Structure 1
Amino acid sequence: MMKKIATLAGVLALSLVAQQAGAKVAADEAAKLGKDLTPVGAEKAANKEGTIPAWTPLGQQGALKGDWPKNAEFDAEKPLYTITKANMAQYASKLSDGHRKLLSTFPSYKMNVYPSHRPVTFPEPILKATAENAVNAVLNGTDDPVGAKLGFPFPIPKNGAEPIWNHKLKWRGEVGTRYNNQMIVQPDGSFQPTKIIEDVQFDYASIKNPQVLDAGHKQFLRYLSRTVAPPRLAGTFILVIEKASTGNEGRAAWLYSPGLKRIRRAPSVCCDNPYEGTDGNQFYDQVDMFNGALDRYNWKLVGKKEMIIPYNSNKIAGNTVKYKDLARPKHLNQDLPRYELHRVWTVEATLKAGTSHTFKKRVLQLDEDSWNIVMADNYDNRDQLFQFQEGHLIYARGLQATSTVPEIIYHFNSGRYFVTAAFNEDAPIDSTVKYSDDHFTAAAVQKMTTK
């Protein structure tokens, strides 16, 4: 009898967990969106000290192609202060573990902190859909969002996985072609660039063709990359169809290698497998700060706090900076990045028992205004800080969207760091492209390789 009672209690407990995982936001709480909260869930007001301003959105201005990141007012400003090893204790509570380690390890490392600005907003259909998602969308487990349409699915998050889905499903335009230039910077500052061109079709956050995520429609993104330099890597293609699920149901991927001269299914385009051509300096799930299935980790919503993060990083992403200007021994040229004080959501991911990953724990910081992941502290199986990811946030007013350009991965065990998502010496993202119906197919990729 006692065994039956215990079993019943376990079933009820699991049922309660499932209900909590799939709980919707109450109507009175969702009503805060657009009032006390911004339409996507950030706090509208300034902080008590006035060091973080009230939300002051900048509406659409500029083109969808050819516009470099810029804001004349922000870009003319001088730093309020500079953080170094000598004064880092004064700011320690607002710094990530990664930034504290960089400051304490390298005497040449510094952080120039500028006035904070909160210009980020999104097209009106995204804002409206986000309000509807607040009361309609649920997340079953970690990888099955249901009932979300077009906007951010979880503007008022209740668990750690929901902010990550906001990041994964954020508005980035209907389509995009971008240059993704990468550099493995050696401890002496030397590097060789790798040039990749990426095509993306955003199936979920599509104003032209919005579709509800449900059992019949889970696809949210299609991606195709082709490496064009250096010669030893040129001609490599990666094709990914991304769905809201796990395993083969969540991601279908193909790889074309010039050596094999054929395209093949590639289940290894996942998790902590090294991204092609990065010599192990970037895992597949570190692209866009984090991507892919969440099921290997337990996700905890730690809460919101004030942190100094890369923000309004127009200079470092712009066409006046060359790649040789970025690279310095041990760390980035810290005269270039812009840091600001902002509120962030902190999410902690801990590896589940019975699963594997190089990172035992990840601590991710998401900007409250954009839901972009801007920093990630990654710990190894000894609970030591192993890597630090830093994404330099820009706001593209023409598109009314944000991205992190460039992204940096610091490897504390080797002294190297990896720069990715840079387009300084090529062109900004083109959001006007049109792809054929069969562009994101294995057959199309095979044809491209024979031209």
Structure 2
Amino acid sequence: MTSLPKQARRLLATILAGSLACQAYAQPAAADIARLDKDLTPVGAERAGNADGSIPAWTGGITTPPEGFDAQKGYADPFKSDQIRFTITGENAAEHRDRLTEGQLEMLKRYPGYRLNVYPTRRTAALPQSVYDAIKAEAGKISLADGGNGILGMERSTVPFPVPKSGVEVQWNHQARYFGGIWTRYSAEFPVQSSGAFTPVTRVETFAAPSALDRSDPNRLYYFRARLTGPSNVAGEGILVHEPIDQVKEPRMAWLYNPGTRRVLRAPEFAYDSPGQGSDGLRTIDDHVGYNGSPDRYEWKLVGKKEIYIPYNNFALSDRSLKYKDIIQANNLKPELTRYELHRVWVVEATLKPGFRHIYPRRVFYFDEDSWSIAYADQYDGRGELWRVRESFLMPFYDQPMTWAVADALHDLQARRYLISGMGNEERPMTFGGKASLADFSTASLRRQGN
């Protein structure tokens, strides 16, 4: 190439870059799809355990609730008799650094009360058979939209890229993952001060997949609405989101309801690094559930797979007999209530594209291979320093079945505060199923629910 004129070299480089991009965004080969019946699980994880047996083989997960299950009383822990294998603290973190994230290492270094109680690994993640069938049926028909900022050809699948070839495909698997058809969650979110003090902000949220409604607009990934119920100074505020599949074709549509003016207004700023509702500035909109929204501001590098200790099977943390004061302490959740296990994760590094802005120029995500949930995220500031560390305390909702976080913690290392989201110990139980219509996710319905 060095013998070519400078202009010709540039042209050839452009052609090669375009060719590589097309290869990265190509549809999966038939041989890859066939692996879903062989060495991969129906969602694309490795069926086999690891070399030393510390990660077992996946045998189907938990698909039925235990005898006597009552959703009103919460999720009984099927592994209550499991014993702690060992505990990782700041004193012995160096011995385990190969299986820890940078965020975990920093937390262990800074906070003496933070520790990881490591239990035997239980691969409990499972989905309904109908969801598995849809994933396999559509696996060879789905591709990325221009630039990777949307998905084309997805109708019922919840894992569009079970054999991912790029980082942006992995993040789409996370965004599209199965949440159930319709659910309503009553939860609390609150910043925890450096002293351990907190004031809960409560909300009710409703989610619906398009397939669960009487009808749907085209190009929809999901519908979502939420209303703050406390404290009194924010009660009544609401948000409505219609999330598109192809975000090149159509950007996110969001509306906010202000109870003071009783007006519903479009909210084009409800995306990216705008401050999250009720978070006291400790999270961005796209921090919700690890990451959400258009990926267009970042380059997504697929680093590969790694075995790390992540929060998993956190039944104890979901215990409805607990009060928030029993769980919350300064700097971190009470470690006696959290459970960590060794699991394989996909590691993806997101780096801000030239010409774009975001308060996190660099983010490193760790996606659980069995559920495609983000288990950890390390997020860096403009100086390149680690700023915020996210932990998602995953648990199988075995009556559905699906895996989701019973709490999310976002630690601000600079402010020495952390934000807890999604906790329901003192709230009404989460409900799944039921009937809903597209009208339930209209601006008129948003106005009515705020009154």
Gaps of 5+ in 2: none
Q: Structure 1 247/9 Cα, relative in aligned 2: closer, same or farther at 3 Å?
A: closer
Match of 2:109 in 1: 104
1:411-450 CA distance string (max 9 Å, x none): 0011100000111112332112322431111122223334
Partner of residue 131 from structure 1, selected from 130, 133, 136:
136
Q: Structure 1 210/387 Cα, relative in aligned 2: closer, same or farther at 3 Å?
A: same
> Are residue 29 (structure 1) and residue 29 (structure 2) matched?
no
Match of 1:13 in 2: 16
Distance 2:100 2:6 in 1: 50
Partner of residue 166 from structure 1, selected from 160, 166, 173:
173
Distance 1:117 1:190 in 2: 34
Query: More displaced, 63-72 or 191-200?
Result: 63-72
> Are residue 87 (structure 1) and residue 92 (structure 2) matched?
yes
Residue 5 of structure 1 deviates from its aligned partner by 4.2
1:30-429 matches, cutoff 5 A: 30-62=33-65, 66=72, 68-72=74-78, 74-140=79-145, 141-151=147-157, 152-203=159-210, 206=211, 217-246=218-247, 249-429=250-430
Is the CA contact 1:392–1:407 (under 8 Å) kept in the aligned structure 2? yes
Is the CA contact 1:187–1:416 (under 8 Å) kept in the aligned structure 2? yes
Residue 7 of structure 1 deviates from its aligned partner by 6.5
Distance 1:180 1:426 in 2: 6
Distance 2:73 2:149 in 1: 35
Is the CA contact 1:248–1:267 (under 8 Å) kept in the aligned structure 2? no
Residue 267 of structure 1 deviates from its aligned partner by 1.1
Q: Normalising by the residue count of structure 2, what TM-score does the alignment of the two structures yield?
A: 0.93
Is the CA contact 1:150–1:210 (under 8 Å) kept in the aligned structure 2? no
1:217-266 CA distance string (max 9 Å, x none): 32111110000000011010011110024489221011111223211001
Distance 1:163 1:75 in 2: 33
Residue 209 of structure 1 deviates from its aligned partner by 8.6
Is the CA contact 2:311–2:394 (under 8 Å) kept in the aligned structure 1? yes
Report the number of matched residues: 443
Distance 2:334 2:192 in 1: 12
Residue 337 of structure 1 deviates from its aligned partner by 0.7
Is the CA contact 1:256–1:263 (under 8 Å) kept in the aligned structure 2? yes
1:142-182 CA distance string (max 9 Å, x none): 22211223221000000001111111111111101001211
1:74-116 CA distance string (max 9 Å, x none): 1221211111111111111101111111111112211100000
Distance 1:391 1:428 in 2: 19
1:118-154 CA distance string (max 9 Å, x none): 0212111211222233322111322221122322100
Q: Structure 1 248/272 Cα, relative in aligned 2: closer, same or farther at 3 Å?
A: farther
Query: More displaced, 319-328 or 300-309?
Result: 319-328
Secondary structure of residue in 2 paired with 1:272: coil
Identity of aligned residues (%): 37
1:391-410 CA distance string (max 9 Å, x none): 00011111111111100000
Distance 2:333 2:148 in 1: 35
Secondary structure of residue in 1 paired with 2:342: strand
Alpha-carbon RMSD: 2.2
Match of 2:433 in 1: 432
Distance 2:215 2:125 in 1: 22
Distance 2:58 2:251 in 1: 36
Secondary structure of residue in 1 paired with 2:438: coil
Distance 2:275 2:313 in 1: 30
1:264-283 CA distance string (max 9 Å, x none): 00111111111122210121
Query: More displaced, 433-442 or 61-70?
Result: 61-70
Is the CA contact 2:141–2:153 (under 8 Å) kept in the aligned structure 1? yes
Gaps of 5+ in 1: none
Secondary structure of residue in 1 paired with 2:54: coil
Distance 2:76 2:59 in 1: 17
Secondary structure of residue in 1 paired with 2:436: coil
